[in-house]
Amino acid sequence: MSALLELEDVEARYGPIHVLHKISLAVEEGAIVAVLGPNGAGKTTTLRAISGTVRRSGRIVFAGKALGRTGPAGTARRGIAHVPEGRGTFAELTVWENLRLGAYTRRGSIQADVNRVMTYFPALAERRRQQAGTLSGGEQQMLALARAFIQRPKLMLLDEPSLGLAPLLVAEIFRIVRELNEKEGLTVLLVEQNAHIALQAAQTGYVLETGKIVLSGTSDELRANDAIRASYLGY
Amino acid sequence: MERLKTVGVERFVILAILLAGAIFLLVGCLTSTQFATFTVQGVATGMAYGALALALVLIYQATHVINFAQGELAMFTTFVAWQLIQWGLPYWGAFFVTLAIAFLLGMGLQVAVIRPVQHRSVIATVIVTVGLFILIDGVVDWVWGGEFKSLPQPFGNGSWNVGGVEIQHLYVGMTGVVLASLAFVWALFRFTKLGLAMRAAALRPAAASLAGVRVDAMLAIGWGLAALLGAVAGLMAEPTTGIFLLPTFMQQVLVYAFAAAALGGLESPIGAIVGGVAIGVLQALMIGYTPQISSQLQLPFAFALILAILVVKPNGLFGRRQVARV
């Protein structure tokens, strides 16, 4: 199995501040891969470097081809759906319009896609005419996932889906992510502070500290690692 | 809860003001044919103000920039229409060709001069639009300056007589044209995928681009649409206001359009049209009843109105109150 996404010595900076130092990682097709690490380690920036929302150097290969500087819109059209931190839904638009935007790059009716997506997010089905801003935090996160999934991405970049949600909702969101992965073959690169739940969902993981990858391995290996236990899992 | 209540009361007050204005006009029109004549004329000129105000609102919504060159762009495209008619095109042929040219010109200007500065600051962009104002003025003066010109009457010189009130075909025709372009823009934003993408790009550019929307292209199309609406305003303002086709003829209209946009709320397309009509009617009544004073004081009146609105209700009648989390 070849890697769907490969990062080789990727660097990124905000002005003079170096945020990523030669990051290299790989995401296998059909896998869920977690990136763990403390606040400010560069997790979000890693995703932004992939989707082209920050300037980057180094090499990124996606689906066998180098990902040029196409910018976020171009990257989305190549089949990478980025669900940013804070969800990136449009509060002023309706649920339906948000979903419509997800399929922006495709022609024709999206009814079939919406119906299929709604089977994974039944809570959204009855709210399609509602403004997205009136949804609860959990529903908004689901809408963000649904909008990204309707893009029919080969790879989904998920940034802190647990942020600000109650534990039950977090479990629900991750259940859906796993379901999409298993039933639809969706590949996911996941950034999380909640290492416990992230490692449950992912098969492999990377640990990022101050812009460098300090550790990588399968979820089981990472769970068994003493340093990880002490810093991230708390037991 | 407290805030919701005050918003509700405000809505009510605004509705009451609009209703009172409408009743005032209705009673006035029914009791005096002269009043009615002024009102009809005011509505027609107000439509031109409204169309230009709508162009301002479109660009403001997308980029939070006031395009000071909007009026001059409209003036330029009106000259283009004049030139096309001189070259032998029939009026309505020239009308639609001009709209197409305006759309392309708006897009081209956004790409060529706005895009390079738009990421710097709002002020930089505004200054570029002021520069455009001067540039267009100069170009038009150079190419078409000299003798006075005027456009042919698009709807003829006829008029209807409704209960003693003379209603020119022109007034009805141009009101129809402006409302049709408003409906076109509204339907585009409301019902099409392109319109949805444009709204998304205006609301949250970063998130829109993650969905594959090319935000820069959306902004260019927005400028194109605004220039198109401006062209409608210019083409309709010239015959209605009876001003000669001079390089300065849209400058007054622009001031009234500013006032209309301020009155309606810079965020509200409907507000732009309602504001334009309100100002057109107010102006027509003022000039109609106090011709000696008002014809001299028209512009000061418009400026005073803008100032008063900004002091009393900065968001305009239809604008949303800006709520920021501190």
How far A170 CA lies from chain B's nearest CA (Å)?
22
User: In B171-269, where do the E strands start and end?
Assistant: none
What pLDDT band is residue A160 in, cutting at 50, 70 and 90?
very high
Does the structure show a pLDDT above 80 at A234? no
Query: Nearest-5° angle of CA B126, CA B132, CA B137?
Result: 135
- Running along chain B, 326 residues long, what does each successive block of 10 average in pLDDT? 60 85 89 90 92 94 90 95 94 96 97 91 92 94 86 86 86 92 91 93 91 93 95 90 83 91 87 92 89 78 84 78 50
Residues of chain B in contact with residue A71, where contact means CB-CB under 8 angstroms, are 209
- Mutation target among A70, A90, A152 for the B interface, most CBs of B within 10 A: A90
The CA-atom distances, in angstroms, between A22 and each of A28, A37, A57, A160, B207 are 20, 16, 9, 22, 27
> What pLDDT, on a 0 to 100 scale, did the predictor assign at position B322?
54
Cβ within 8 Å, pair A76-B209: yes
> What pLDDT, on a 0 to 100 scale, did the predictor assign at position B42?
92
> What pLDDT, on a 0 to 100 scale, did the predictor assign at position B323?
52
Picking from A190, A162, A145, A150, the residue whose alpha carbon sits closest to that of residue A5 is: A190
- The closest CB to that of B212, out of A76, A97, A100, belongs to A76
Cβ within 8 Å, pair B196-A100: yes
User: ipTM of the predicted structure?
Assistant: 0.88
Query: Which residue in chain B has the smallest CA separation from A99?
Result: B211
Which residues, in sequence order, are CB contacts of B42 under 8 Å at separation 6+? B277, B280, B281, B282, B283, B284, B285
Q: Which residues of B touch A (CB under 8 A)?
A: 193, 196-197, 199-200, 203-204, 206-215
> What pLDDT, on a 0 to 100 scale, did the predictor assign at position B325?
46
Cβ within 8 Å, pair B204-A82: no
Residues of chain A in contact with residue B212, where contact means CB-CB under 8 angstroms, are 73, 76-77, 104-105, 151
- Mutation target among B119, B189, B194, B210 for the A interface, most CBs of A within 10 A: B210
> What pLDDT, on a 0 to 100 scale, did the predictor assign at position B1?
44
Q: How far apart are CA B317 and CA B274, in angstroms?
A: 10
> What pLDDT, on a 0 to 100 scale, did the predictor assign at position A204?
94
Whole-number mean pLDDT of chain A?
89
User: Mean pLDDT across the stretch A2-19?
Assistant: 89
What pLDDT band is residue A60 in, cutting at 50, 70 and 90?
very high
> What pLDDT, on a 0 to 100 scale, did the predictor assign at position A193?
86
Cβ within 8 Å, pair A147-B209: no
> What pLDDT, on a 0 to 100 scale, did the predictor assign at position B74?
96
Instruction: Count the helix, strand and coil residues of chain B and give each as a percent rounded to the nearest 5.
Output: 80, 5, 20
Query: Which pairing describes strands A32-36 and A204-209: parallel, antiparallel, or unpaired?
Result: parallel
Query: Which residue in chain A has the smallest CA separation from B217?
Result: A73
Residue B66 · residue B306 · CB < 8 Å: no
* Between residues A231 and B114, the one the model is more confident about: B114
Phi/psi at A51 (nearest 5 deg)?
Answer: -80, -5
> What pLDDT, on a 0 to 100 scale, did the predictor assign at position B120?
86
Asked if A153 reaches chain B (Cβ–Cβ under 8 Å), the answer is no
Alpha helix stretches (DSSP H) within B145-192: 169-191
Q: Is B167 strand, coil or helix? A: strand
The CA-atom distances, in angstroms, between B264 and each of A72, B126, B199 are 36, 21, 20
* Tokens standing for residue A221: 């290996």
pTM above 0.95, yes or no: no
> What pLDDT, on a 0 to 100 scale, did the predictor assign at position B321?
58
Residue A159 · residue A44 · CB < 8 Å: yes
